[in-house]
Amino acid sequence: MLAEIISTGAELLTGATLDTNAHYLAKELQPLGIQVQRITTIGDEEEVLRKAFQEASQRSKLCLVTGGLGPTDDDRSAQAAAQAAGTELEPNPTARKYMEEFFRTLSRPLTSTDAKQALLPKGAEAIPNPKGTAVGFSLQIHQCHFYFMPGVPQEMKAMFEKYVLPKIKNTLQTPHHGLQTLTLFGCREAEAAEILNDFPQLFPQIQLGYRVHFPQIQLRLYYPPKANLQNALDWLKQKVGKWIVSWQGRFLEEEVPHLLQKLGLKIAVAESCTGGLVSDLLTNFPGSSQFFLGSVVAYSNSLKQHLLNVCPQTLQKYGAVSQEVATQMAKGIQKHSQADLGLATTGIAGPSGGSEQKPVGTICIAIAYQNLSHSWRFCVDFREREKNKLFFATMALESLRRHICKKYNLKT
């Protein structure tokens, strides 16, 4: 079923308010297999609203409208809807009843300004507002069924979930579409797209979408009930398997915490070039204190020696950006914190500080686990300090994920 969403309100066009309603509604319709083909944001003028409703009624079978139901002069959705449907406003007794009930719970009398909200287009069906005074309504305009809801997000969501969504589900005769999301790290979107170029021909029933969360990518597969999803997944594994970090669409900053929680492992981190970002990402996970003990961000060599027991000779011989120093940092934080795992980063995020042997983009990562340690060195420069930091931190998480999967015999 084709649908559209119309957000109304001058405040959305001046940038004063960010519209989150349309995004919320689109997300709710998606798993029902309803295809939102357009979202329109317009102001408060009656004529503009009427035109937009009429246009939508010719394109779609379902239209969700938010805003313009309040008691003030710039609330004109009902009037415009009546015009678009070729009818007029009339007092709606059910709407009036819903409003009186709500005002009773507030112990407040209904003013004449408020009462304006009980005027609805002829033929409209009133919808209660569980969280406010503005009554919603549904109305058929040409081929399209419209639901008019308030613009205040809380009120809109409450009305949608309780009344509108069940009505929409009832009218649906098709089974739902599924969504499977995979996360990739290590390739660019363009690279993945080139490799997966044949997908639409091979699996015409399945829609493949991309979403970038730098430096990670999500592949999103929308599939109808009878599609052979497994074949598509097997093909993807063959093509981009080496980059897949999660078959559940988790990003590394979620996948690593999941693994650590599942295995009951505790981690501590020693950071240099990532400057606290690895710790920040891990502690964005609610309940991270269960697996994250802490970290040392050792920018200065003196702190590397003092708090992480990095040996001055190693610093002198190999330099601060070296696998040797990374290894000592990982061991140092593991020992201090008594964590199961120590993870360390040292590198050059730029824009300055690079040399011929160690250009900007060089990153050394080390992991200390039990009595063993492993270290790696890579070099990728995105020409932006913050991007480099984020790439380094993600690389550290990926190194850790691979290490854990290997040690515990887990498949990605």
Q: Which residues ranging from 113 to 142 are in contact with its own copies (CB under 8 A)?
A: 113-114, 131, 133
246 binds its own copies (CB under 8 A): no
320 φ/ψ angles, rounded to the nearest 5 degrees:
-65, -35
* Nearest CA among 20, 134, 174, 146 for reference residue 80: 146
* Nearest CA among 127, 98, 139 for reference residue 115: 98
Footprint of its own copies on residues 255-274 (CB under 8 A)?
268-269, 271, 274
| Cβ burial, residue 272 (10 Å; 0-12/13-18/19+) | buried
Contact 336, 308 (CB under 8 A): yes
64 binds its own copies (CB under 8 A): no
Shortest gap between Cβ of 275 and its own copies (angstroms)?
Answer: 3
168 binds its own copies (CB under 8 A): no
Footprint of its own copies on residues 310-329 (CB under 8 A)?
none
302 binds its own copies (CB under 8 A): yes
Shortest gap between Cβ of 283 and its own copies (angstroms)?
Answer: 3
Q: Which of 49, 120, 141, 282 binds its own copies (CB under 8 A)?
A: 282
Report the alpha-carbon distance of residue 16 to residue 276 in Å, rounded.
34
Site string for its own copies, 370-399 (x = CB under 8 A): -----------xxxxxx--x----------
36 binds its own copies (CB under 8 A): yes
Q: Which of 86, 166, 175, 351 binds its own copies (CB under 8 A)?
A: 351
Shortest gap between Cβ of 386 and its own copies (angstroms)?
Answer: 5
Give the DSSP per-residue string, 79-105.
Answer: HHHHHHTT--EEE-HHHHHHHHHHHHH
Instruction: Tell me the CA distances in angstroms from 382 to 323, 360, 364, 386, 394, one per residue in order.
Output: 21, 9, 16, 9, 14
Shortest gap between Cβ of 204 and its own copies (angstroms)?
Answer: 14
Shortest gap between Cβ of 89 and its own copies (angstroms)?
Answer: 18
Report the alpha-carbon distance of residue 385 to residue 395 in Å, rounded.
15
In the 8-state DSSP scheme, what is residue 109?
A: P
Q: Which is nearer to its own copies, 71 or 224 (CB)?
A: 71
Contact 31, 177 (CB under 8 A): yes
Shortest gap between Cβ of 87 and its own copies (angstroms)?
Answer: 25
Report the alpha-carbon distance of residue 5 to residue 196 in Å, rounded.
32
Site string for its own copies, 97-116 (x = CB under 8 A): --------xxx---x-xx--
Shortest gap between Cβ of 39 and its own copies (angstroms)?
Answer: 4
Contact 128, 98 (CB under 8 A): yes
Q: Which stretch binds its own copies (CB under 8 A): 6-14, 118-126, 140-148, 321-329?
A: 6-14
Q: Which stretch binds its own copies (CB under 8 A): 4-12, 81-89, 138-146, 394-402?
A: 4-12
Contact 210, 189 (CB under 8 A): yes
Footprint of its own copies on residues 200-229 (CB under 8 A)?
200, 209-212, 220, 222
276 binds its own copies (CB under 8 A): yes
Q: Which is nearer to its own copies, 32 or 89 (CB)?
A: 32
Q: Which is nearer to its own copies, 57 or 133 (CB)?
A: 133
Report the alpha-carbon distance of residue 198 to residue 366 in Å, rounded.
38
Upstream peptide bond of 351 is cis (omega within 30 degrees of 0) = yes
Can you read off the two tokens belonging to residue 129? Answer: 């507002």
Contact 245, 184 (CB under 8 A): yes
Shortest gap between Cβ of 177 and its own copies (angstroms)?
Answer: 10
